[in-house]
Amino acid sequence: MKQEQEPAGDGVDEVGPGVLRVQLPIDMPGLGHVNTYVLVDERGAAVIDPGLPGRATWSALADRLDKAGVGVKHVHTVVVTHSHPDHYGTAGKLAEETGADIVTHAAFRLWWAPHPCDVHVHDVDPDDDADGDPYAGPTTPWGTPNPRAGTGRDWLDESNFSHPRPARRLRDGDTIELAGRPWVALHTPGHTLDHLCLVDPEHGLLVSGDHVLPSITPHIAGLGTGRDPLKSFLASLDRIADYPGVETALPAHGHPFGTLRQRVDDIKRHHLERLDKLRTLLAGGASATVVELSHELFREAHWGLMAESETYAHLEHLRLRGDLERHDDTGPAAYRTAVGTSPT
Ligand SMILES: [Zn+2]
Ligand SMILES: [Zn+2]
């Protein structure tokens, strides 16, 4: 079993000075728990990524905070690394119950919510603003129903959910005081447009969210994540691996680890191999659709929307780099080698 799939333990581990790792149960494809980090200071505690919405999370969270010696009512800050439900799900309720401030990256947005109009998102290329996402229509560019169309949140038990409203939206390079010392915000788009990592330079700790996980490669969606999410992701990987002094990654799933550069290189290699495979498949003038190519990149057990979306992200990366051409005139998006490119 991969470590990200392990069921949530109920213990409290100290993973850095004043930094506690607790685990909350989740049941999502390939994931058995989410790590919630509790950062203790004189005022109480900050909590990072408090899990999915719902009662099971709430009672596990109350139990873990108790064991950590911090009552729920002493939570003063809730940091959310990115806009996926296993990270933001209980943030709104926790803030409501405690008066805590929610902190996110400036671009944080749930896909069904209007873009926060009072925020000018300097960190995000205007082309990448999800508001301008040309694919928010009823079907995806490859012709399947678009899960982002409409509100698309049948999965959500609204009676147990409070919308997270950030009191503070961090920009790249901002600092925030957690566990009694400054942490630096790093904007790391790729897995989502609004992904936030935090660095504690004094102790070499990196809160890595879903940007880097110890044994599974984070999903790179091709929809709602900007024009070239794979390019953003690869750049964001180097950004954290090159950050001076980082020694220990604290991921949102799986165990903390100390081999960040090696892990980053492995994840980069995985994507470069996929790009090579796509170019090889399309060598010799063949044309193929996103769905067909997703069946070449992914095992049958993984076929479906997530595989298609990630394949699309890779194809668009190759197209924007000039290696491939896209043609949609006869139906769903299909790709072939660009004229004048010698396939390698
Ligand atoms: Zn995620
Ligand atoms: Zn996650």
Strands in the chain per DSSP E: 13-16, 19-28, 31-41, 44-48, 75-79, 101-105, 168-170, 175-178, 181-187, 196-200, 205-209, 248-251, 288-289, 324-327, 334-337
Q: Mind listing the domains of the chain with CATH numbers?
A: 3-259 (3.60.15.10), 271-337 (1.10.10.10)
Ligand 1 mean position, distance from CA 87 (Å): 7
Q: How far is the CA of 210 from the centre of ligand 1 (A)?
A: 5
What's the gap in Å between 284 CA and the centre of ligand 2? 39
Q: How far is CA 218 from CA 25, 159, 213, 260, in A?
A: 19, 30, 7, 15
Ligand 1 centroid to Cα of residue 26, in Å, is: 13
Average pLDDT for the chain? 90
Amino acid identity at 273: E
Task: Give the Å distance between the CA of 16 and the centre of ligand 2.
Answer: 21
pLDDT at 278 over 60: yes
CA of 293 to the centre of ligand 2 (A): 26
3-state class of 287 per DSSP? coil
Find the distance separating the first CA and the last CA of the chain, reported in whole Å.
Answer: 36
Q: What pLDDT digit, counting tens, does each position of 298-320 carry?
A: 999 999 999 999 999 999 999 99
- Pick from 16, 45, 22: nearest CA to 199: 16
Contacts of 292 (CB under 8 A, 6+ apart): none
Burial of residue 267 (number of CB atoms within 10 Å: 0-12, 13-18, 19+):
buried
| Ligand nearest to the backbone CA of 34 | 2
* pLDDT tens-digit series, residues 190-204: 999 999 999 999 999
Measure 4 CA to ligand 2 centroid, in angstroms.
10
pLDDT of residue 124: 58
Q: Which of 164, 61, 53, 158 is closest to 104 using CA atoms? A: 164
What gap in Å lies between CA 7 and CA 16, rounded to an integer? 23
3-state SS assignment for residue 293:
helix
CA of 205 to the centre of ligand 1 (A): 20
Ligand nearest to the CA of 219: 1
C-alpha of residue 330 to centroid of ligand 2, in Å: 37
Q: Are 112 and 151 in contact (CB under 8 A)?
A: yes
Crossing angle of helices 305-320 and 290-297, in 10° steps, is 100
pLDDT for 61-98, tens place per residue? 999 999 999 999 999 999 999 999 999 999 999 999 99
The reported pLDDT for the residue numbered 325 is: 95
Quote the DSSP letter at residue 39. Answer: E
Q: What is the pLDDT of residue 119?
A: 43
**Which residue's structure tokens are 């193929």?**
288
Please tell me the predicted confidence (pLDDT) of residue 125. Answer: 57
